[in-house]
Amino acid sequence: MLSERPITPSTLSRKDLPWQVKWDIQTCTKCGRCTSVCPVNAIELGVFRKREIKTSMGLNAKPVNEFSTFYGIRQRTDPAYACIGCAMCNMVCPNNAIEPVRQEHSTTLQFQNNRGGQSRTRGGRRNSGESLLDQLKFIRISMLTDPALDAGRHEFDVRTLLGRVLSPENEIKCFNENGWKPPVREIYPLVIGSMSFGALSPNMWEGLQMGVAYLNEELNMPVRMCTGEGGCPPRLLRSRFLKYVILQIASGYFGWDEIIHAIPEMKVDPCAIEIKYGQGAKPGDGGLLMWYKVNKLIAAIRGVPQGVSLPSPPTHQTKYSIEEAVAKMIQSMSMAWGFRVPVYPKISASSTSLAVLNNLVRNPYAAGLAIDGEDGGTGAAYNVSMNHMGHPIASNLRDCYKALCVSGAQNEIPLIAGGGIGKNGNLAANAAALIMLGASMVQVGKYVMQAGAGCLGSEKDRCNVCNIGVCPKGITSQDPRIYRRLDPEKVAERVVDFYLSFDTELRKVIAPLGRSTSLPIGMSDALGVSDKHVADRLDIKYVI
Amino acid sequence: MCRLFALTSRDPVSPMLAIDALNVMKEGHDGSGVGLYLSGLGGPFEDLKEYPVLSGIFTDAGLRRLSEYMTEKGFSSKYSVMFKPDTEPPVGTPKRGTYASIAYELPPEWKDLDKDDLGERLVKTRLELRAEGEQTGDIMVFSFWPDTIMIKEVGDPMAIGEYLQLGREEIHARHILAQGRQNTNYAINLYACHPFFIEGIGTMTNGENTAFIPIKEYLQSRGVTGYQGYQSDSEVFTHIAHFTTKKLGLDISAYKHVITPMNDDEMKDHQDREFLSSLKKACRKLIIDGPNCVIGCLENGTMFMAQDRKKLRPGVVGGNPELGMYAFSSEICGLNAAIPDRDKSQDFQPMHLDTAIVGPDCREVVKCSQKDPLLLQR
């Protein structure tokens, strides 16, 4: 730092930064760990020089300058290096001598985020702690006529169906005539949403896969995980664990060459194929894997050169309309696996969700519809997309479910809801609420990272650097020096832990409502909310 | 908790037999209502089995409107049992007018219709009359079907039985479903009173149906005339039985596979596993969680009882094949009161996998377990 600092339109004082690094000179041992771990280089080792003028009493001696030098930590005020509040510095400090502190009133950085004419992109979350799902209450508690069940002892069947379910009439007809039946998977209603192998570090991905495999094979919980755009590691494609994986094909088609070529060698079918048309974090936008994360491995899997940004187009460029896409993509994907694998599209919750759904209802090969609400997202998205685009999930899902009820297909096309589930930690309650609003299953990504790998991000713009490959915990970094911080075994352990506790909590919600042998899909009479408008909109009870 | 009592007999018996049994079980129910389903009618209706019987409650104006309506449609009254109580109603029972069961001759153009079309038209006629009555309050119609009478009223079952003189020979029947108490979760409404009836199938239930809303929404979306109303959360059980037997063409022994399918372990060794597993998936929306005991009667007089999966509501079946009389009761004291002369060791309390079925011949209780091979489906 210069001794005479220039003051220009974009210089900021420390006071202007939302996160300020508090450093205690008394307890600091100057080990340097904090500066070396800081993912954004917000702090640096500083050499401080101090001049003191010493004056003695009387007039005999002249005042003298005394110079001292000491070492410490300096927070940079350049907006490009602003502290993101991840607190890794504190995590590695032996004496807790350093920590970031949030300065709520400092909003100045917001005006400096778009330097060089570049809009801010970031990973992470919507930075809004509000959650409608958290406001919903389960009010239909069975008390006397209908005894509440014992969540710990009764038999529970917490499973759901992914795939086109035939109507009872058609099912019987098909059985009698030995006809073709769309594939249906019986799975756990909480799916790990799409986070691609490029977005997540190899260690994180491996941890998740191990956790999922353990849940399936040891605990008999048919948990499934979606790959996200970007393909799938070749070894997994050829392993028996592929059946726990939902392969995603997105508009960039990254990695699909590899997948298609692996088909003849696949030992098992994948659980399902998800065709991504849209996502909650950046609706109407394609994916974006920034160049920082495209290392040799990712480039090989995706079939692209190293070190280039990989934006997916906002639409499937070969398709003209959703009708065409539904007809062609679903059919060709189904055909690729001999019509043995459910294929469903994923769209961002929007005013066109119903249009997409209407097209699916009449498509015998469509296996479901995943709707991603505005709160989703891990990878790179523009700030403005993440914060201001998209439709909240609750009413969108409800509209879709009610549309299915009208056409009598609510059992037939499963709705998969995502976006904003468990954003304040209430995963089971949020998931149960969405199921009662009509979702057959829910998908979460963010919660999995937060709970499974100790992601530091919060709804207060903390961290959110998933996109530039410097994830301090090694979750979304492709740099081995960083991701080796993450132990895959421990991630797997945590994934299993939170699934088990989710399971218990879900039972604690549905058992008092009297449900145990079937998931309470569409049991909207169990829900209440103290906001009249919300109650009317969602067609649930208004309670105060 | 509601008390249920059903009687099936080779010879017509008085409905008071069932009301008496309800009375014996009274300890647990508050006596706020009674509903009766009668089929296999004796007395004057014995010879009128072909003619649909309209049963309901009418004011004088309602009767006039009914008559106009039916004449306009081309129905002509064949025989009617009108009962207008001349005594004061019991405490809590409103004075309503005439309790009527009228057998009609079909309009000439209906006579060539096939059975399904005819059934649908009868249901439509009933619903139109019901809708008409709901506007004016003059007409309440509970059933319109051959060989079927339904009576519903608010009040203590015994007092209602005496008030409406339910022991009259003209309403003796072979198959009787009787339930004490109105529903509790919703407003008191005679249409909410068990048993419920649609196209020859009547059922009644105790307990509460936690899955009411999703099941209701599903049934309503099936496009079947008559799947409507739903004043009670248990009305869906009747419609599921109707859907299972009439729309899916399954035997009543499959009813339990629809409402409470087996879990994977139980299904593992079943010889019809493939069918059952696909039925479970396709009918997932119709799975109940109870707690319920469902007792029902089919068009041919077959009576059945099934429980929720956890069997949180009791039920017992017993009877005397020599007398040709069997009873389904939610408590054993009701059974004792109605058929004291029986081999009690043969009483059967269906468990979570069982359906108890007594055929119209009243010879034996068929105990169907879900683990048994499926009967030949119709």
Say whether A149 and B1 touch across the interface (CB within 8 A). Answer: no
Say whether A407 and B221 touch across the interface (CB within 8 A). Answer: yes
Do residues A124 and A384 touch, judged by C-beta distance below 8 A? no
* Domains identified in chain A and CATH numbers: 14-54+63-106 (3.30.70.20), 133-458+488-542 (3.20.20.70)
Do residues A428 and A188 touch, judged by C-beta distance below 8 A? no
Distance, in Å, from the CA atom of A396 to the CA atom of A439, rounded to the nearest integer, reads 11
Closest by alpha carbon to A287, among A160, A195, A422? Answer: A195
Closest by alpha carbon to A367, among A348, A350, A343? Answer: A343
Do residues A406 and B221 touch, judged by C-beta distance below 8 A? yes
Of B210, B221, B283, the CB nearest to A515: B210
Element of type H or E holding A390:
none
**Would you give the DSSP letter of residue B307?**
E
Closest residue in B to A403 (Cα–Cα) = B221
Residues of B in contact with A405 (CB under 8 A): 217-218, 220-221
Q: Which residues of A touch B (CB under 8 A)?
A: 140, 142, 145-147, 149, 154-155, 157, 161, 165-172, 174-175, 181, 184, 186, 405-411, 513-518, 520-525
Query: CA of A39, closest CA in chain B: separation in Å?
Result: 50
Say whether A147 and B1 touch across the interface (CB within 8 A). Answer: no
Q: pLDDT value at position B378? A: 44
Say whether A145 and B312 touch across the interface (CB within 8 A). Answer: no
Q: What is the DSSP annotation of A74-134?
A: EE---GGG------HHHHH-TT--EEEEE-TT--GGGGGSSGGGPPPEE-S--S----HHH
Burial category of A287 from C-beta neighbours within 10 Å (exposed 0-12, middle 13-18, buried 19 and up): buried
Of B217, B220, B310, the CB nearest to A522: B217
Query: Over chain A (544 residues), what is each successive 10-residue block's mean pLDDT?
Result: 73 90 94 94 92 87 90 90 94 95 89 87 84 93 74 88 94 92 95 90 94 96 93 93 95 91 96 93 86 91 90 86 86 94 94 92 93 80 88 95 92 92 92 96 92 89 90 93 95 96 94 88 94 96 95
What is the longest distance spanned by two Cα atoms in chain B?
A: 62
Of A186, A516, A525, the CB nearest to B213: A525
Closest residue in B to A436 (Cα–Cα) = B214
User: Beta partners for B36?
Assistant: B151, B178
Say whether B210 and A181 touch across the interface (CB within 8 A). Answer: no
Q: Which residues of chain B are under the pLDDT cut of 70?
A: 1, 27-31, 182-187, 376-378
Do residues B87 and B163 touch, judged by C-beta distance below 8 A? yes
Interface residue of B32, B221, B264 to substitute, partner A, most A CBs within 10 Å? B221
What is the longest distance spanned by two Cα atoms in chain A?
A: 116
Who's near B27: CB < 8 A, 6+ residues apart? none
Say whether B282 and A172 touch across the interface (CB within 8 A). Answer: yes
Q: Where are the alpha helices (DSSP H) in A338-456?
A: 353-361, 383-388, 393-407, 427-437, 446-453
Closest residue in A to B286 (Cα–Cα) = A518
From the annotation, which residues of A make up the binding site?
A: 83, 86, 89, 93
Distance, in Å, from the CA atom of A208 to the CA atom of A227, rounded to the nearest integer, reads 11
- Token pair of B210 as six digits: 């936690």
The CA R_g of chain B, rounded to the nearest whole Å, is 20
Q: Is A76 left (phi over 0), alpha (psi -120 to 50) or beta?
A: beta
Say whether A175 and B290 touch across the interface (CB within 8 A). Answer: no
Query: CA of B54, closest CA in chain A: separation in Å?
Result: 31
Q: pLDDT value at position B111? A: 85
Distance, in Å, from the CA atom of B168 to the CA atom of B261, rounded to the nearest integer, reads 42
Do residues B181 and B195 touch, judged by C-beta distance below 8 A? no
- pTM: predicted TM-score of the whole model, two decimal places: 0.93
Element of type H or E holding A9:
none
Closest residue in B to A143 (Cα–Cα) = B208
Q: In what order do the strands lie in the sheet with B173-180?
A: B148-154, B33-41, B173-180, B3-13, B325-329, B316-320
Q: How far is CA A187 from CA A6, A365, B211, B295, in A?
A: 61, 19, 21, 34
Query: CA of A358, closest CA in chain B: separation in Å?
Result: 16
From the annotation, which residues of A make up the binding site for [4Fe-4S] cluster?
A: 83, 86, 89, 93
Query: CA of B149, closest CA in chain A: separation in Å?
Result: 29
Do residues A466 and A123 touch, judged by C-beta distance below 8 A? yes
* Domains identified in chain B and CATH numbers: 4-49+147-369 (3.60.20.10)
Say whether A145 and B278 touch across the interface (CB within 8 A). Answer: no
Residues of B in contact with A514 (CB under 8 A): 208, 210, 289-291
The one-letter amino acid at A175:
F
> How many CA within 13 A on the CB side of residue A415?
37
Q: pLDDT value at position A127? A: 81
Say whether A161 and B284 touch across the interface (CB within 8 A). Answer: yes
Distance, in Å, from the CA atom of B277 to the CA atom of A160, rounded to the nearest integer, reads 14
Do residues A515 and A152 touch, judged by C-beta distance below 8 A? no
Q: Is B104 left (phi over 0), alpha (psi -120 to 50) or beta?
A: beta
- Quote the crossing angle between the two packed helices A393-407 and A353-361, to the nearest 10°: 30
- The interface predicted TM-score of the complex, written ipTM, equals 0.92
Q: Which residues of B touch A (CB under 8 A)?
A: 1, 184-185, 207-208, 210-214, 217-218, 220-223, 243, 247-250, 260-261, 263, 274-275, 278-279, 281-285, 287, 289-291, 309-310, 312
Q: What is the pLDDT of residues B106-136, one digit of tens each?
A: 999 988 899 889 999 999 999 999 999 988 8
Q: Is A154 helix (H, G, I), strand (E, B) or coil?
A: coil
Residues of A in contact with B210 (CB under 8 A): 140, 142, 146, 513-515, 523
Interface residue of B1, B205, B281, B313 to substitute, partner A, most A CBs within 10 Å? B281
Residues of A in contact with B185 (CB under 8 A): 145
Closest by alpha carbon to A311, among A118, A121, A464? Answer: A121
Say whether B214 and A175 touch across the interface (CB within 8 A). Answer: no
- Whether cis (ω within 30° of 0) applies to the bond prior to B195 is yes
Query: CA of B353, closest CA in chain A: separation in Å?
Result: 14
Distance, in Å, from the CA atom of B359 to the CA atom of B301, rounded to the nearest integer, reads 7
Query: CA of B310, closest CA in chain A: separation in Å?
Result: 8
Q: pLDDT value at position B277? A: 93
Say whether B218 and A523 touch across the interface (CB within 8 A). Answer: no
Query: CA of B218, closest CA in chain A: separation in Å?
Result: 7
Of B1, B184, B263, the CB nearest to A155: B263
Query: CA of B4, closest CA in chain A: separation in Å?
Result: 15
Say whether B207 and A513 touch across the interface (CB within 8 A). Answer: no
Residues of A in contact with B312 (CB under 8 A): 147
Query: CA of A431, closest CA in chain B: separation in Å?
Result: 17
Count residue pairs from A and B with Cβ separation < 8 A.
Answer: 110
Who's near A380: CB < 8 A, 6+ residues apart? A121, A122, A123, A288, A289, A290, A466, A467, A468
Element of type H or E holding A204:
helix A202-217
Query: CA of A383, closest CA in chain B: separation in Å?
Result: 39
Residues of B in contact with A165 (CB under 8 A): 281-282, 284
